[in-house]
Amino acid sequence: MDNYRFILSGGGTGGHIYPAIAIANELKRRYPNAEFLFVGAQGRMEMEKVPQAGYKIEGLWITGLQRKLTLKNVMFPFKVISSLLKSGKIARRFKPHAVIGTGGFASGPMLRVASGKNIPCVLQEQNSFAGITNKLLKNRVSKICVAYDGMEKFFPADKIVKTGNPVRGDLVEMQVDKKEALSHFGLDLQKPTLLILGGSLGARRINQLIAAKLEYIQSLGLQVIWQCGKLYIEEYKKYESDTVKVFDFMNRMDYAYTAADVMISRSGAGAVSELSIVGKPVLFIPSPNVAEDHQTKNAMALVNEDAALILRELELDEKFESVFSGLINDPSRQRKLSANIKKMALPNATKHIVDEIEKLLK
pLDDT value at residue 124: 96
Q: Long-range pairs for 48-56 at CB < 8 Å and ≥24 separation?
A: 49/14, 49/17, 49/18, 49/21, 50/17, 50/20, 50/21, 53/21, 53/24, 53/25, 55/8, 55/21, 55/24
pLDDT value at residue 66: 56
Sign of CA dihedral 185, 186, 190, 191: negative
**Is 168 annotated among the ligand-binding residues?**
yes
CA distances from 251 to 18, 168, 208, 248, 254 (A): 14, 12, 23, 10, 9
pLDDT value at residue 243: 96
Helix (H/G/I), strand (E/B), else coil: 255:
helix
pLDDT value at residue 70: 67
Measured in degrees and rounded to the nearest 5, phi and psi for residue 243 equal: -110, 0
pLDDT value at residue 314: 94
**Is 63 annotated among the ligand-binding residues?**
no
In the chain the domains, ranked by start, together with CATH numbers, are: 5-167+347-361 (3.40.50.2000), 170-343 (3.40.50.2000)
Taking residue 114's Cβ as centre, other Cβ atoms within 10 Å add up to 26
Q: What does DSSP assign to residue 237?
A: G
> Which residue in 300, 332, 270 sits closest to 124, CA to CA?
270
**Is 200 annotated among the ligand-binding residues?**
yes
Which regions of 110-188 does DSSP assign to beta strands (E)? 121-125, 143-146, 160-162
Dihedral angle over CA of 50, 78, 119, 133, nearest 10: 70
Beta strands 262-265 and 193-197, pairing class: parallel
* Cα–Cα distance for residue pair 117/132, rounded to 1 Å: 22
**Is 348 annotated among the ligand-binding residues?**
no
Q: Which amino acid, one-letter code, is at 258? A: T
* Cα–Cα distance for residue pair 28/232, rounded to 1 Å: 36
Residues recorded for the chain: 362
**Cα(first)–Cα(last) distance of the chain, in Å?**
10
> Which residue in 92, 104, 96, 89 sits closest to 27, CA to CA?
96
- Average pLDDT of each block of 10 consecutive residues along the chain (362 residues)? 90 83 95 96 88 92 66 76 87 96 90 95 92 90 94 96 86 80 95 90 91 96 95 94 93 91 94 93 92 88 96 95 97 97 92 96 88
**Is 127 annotated among the ligand-binding residues?**
yes
pLDDT value at residue 6: 98
* Cα–Cα distance for residue pair 121/133, rounded to 1 Å: 14
CB 147 within 8 A of CB 349: yes
